[in-house]
Each structure stands twice: as C-alpha cells, then as structure tokens.
Structure 1
Amino acid sequence: MDVKVFATVFITIFLAELGDKTQLATLLFAADKEVNKWTVFLGASLALVACAGIGVLLGQYASQYINEKWLNLIAGGGFILVGAWTLWRA
C-alpha cells in the first residue's frame, strides 16, 4: 500500500466531509433518543463505503477512456462551477 496516497486521500475526503450534508444528516439521525447510535454509525459508514466504491469504479472506468490530466481538469472545473453557483445563489 502506498502510504502517501492513502494519507492524501484520507485527509482530503475527511476534510471534504466535515460539516457537509451527510454529516449533518447523520447527526440528526443520531440525535433521536430512541435510535441505536451503533445502527446510525453502521448505516452511515456502509453508505459512505458504497459511495466511495462507486467513485473508485467510475474513476477506473473513466481513466480507460479519458486522459488523467483531462479528468483532473474536468473535476477541477466542476468544483469551480459548483462553488460559483453556490456563491451566486447566496
């Protein structure tokens, strides 16, 4: 395992997920006094693992047809558009 890649992915995803809608939804589910917190944790964890798996599979598939440089440019452009749209709607 490449520890540098692992650390980069972990830190990037961890910071991206802090305070996002997924974390807030999980917080709200866990706030229910009648809900088992381990059930919320396991459900949220499995959902995130499934989403990450889909991302890895789509990334692997896309990389067979699109140059890595172009994938980075497309992803970066997408983030810029989402950020601009968010600022415009604010």
Structure 2
Amino acid sequence: MWQLASIFAAVFIAELGDKTQLATMLFATEGKHSPFAVFVAAALALCVSTALAVLLGSVFAQRLEGIPLKLIAGIGFIAIGAWTIVDYLRT
C-alpha cells in the first residue's frame, strides 16, 4: 500500500503546474468544450501516456540490465534544465 501511495504522491507532485495541466486548464476555460469532455480526454491521455511509460520502462529494464537508468534519467533532466537556462539567458 505504501508503494502505491509513494508512486501516487511522486506523480501527483510532478504533474502539478506542468504544461500538460496548464493546457488542460486552457481547454476548460475556452468554453468550446464541456468540462466533463475536457476531464475525460485529459484523463484518457494521461492513462495512455502512463501505460506507454510503464511498457517502455519494463522493456528497458529487461534489456539494459546493469545500466544505472536513474543516473541516466537524472543526467537527462539536468541537461534539459541547463538547456532551458541557456535558452532563457540568450533572450
């Protein structure tokens, strides 16, 4: 049970205020779609993208044994952050 709670908390916090959530909020505020339709479409999109992530993660874990995937992911996030900062400083 704690495993589910920790995964839920990590994903929930990571998703707060991200561009996906902001895009969903914009769809809801446009008034072109019902709030229920926006909710269902966004929830389905999140479910499908999460299923894809779990599937790919499982495949990578089987095929890339011994490679520190958390380290690679961390370096990737740092690289994206550095790229974002550099891009911001150029403007």
Large movers: runs of 4+ above 6 Å: none
Find the partner of 1:21 among 1, 6, 19.
19
CA displacement 1:44-65 (0-9 Å, x = unmatched) = 0000000000000000000001
TM-score by length of 2: 0.88
Identity %, equivalent residues: 45
For 2:44 and 2:66, the matched residues in 1 are separated by: 28
- The amino acid of 1:31's aligned partner reads T
C-alpha RMSD over aligned residues: 1.4
Matched ranges for 1:36-47 at <5 A: 36-47=34-45
Greater Cα offset, 76-85 or 50-59? 76-85
Q: Which residue of 2 aligns with 1:10?
A: 8
Runs of 5+ consecutive residues of structure 1 not aligned to the other structure: none
Alignment CA distance shift 1:60-1:23 (3 Å): same
For 1:15 and 1:30, the matched residues in 2 are separated by: 21
Q: Which residue of 2 aligns with 1:48?
A: 46
- The amino acid of 2:64's aligned partner reads I
Alignment CA distance shift 1:51-1:30 (3 Å): same
Alignment CA distance shift 1:58-1:10 (3 Å): same
Number of residue pairs the alignment of both structures matches: 88
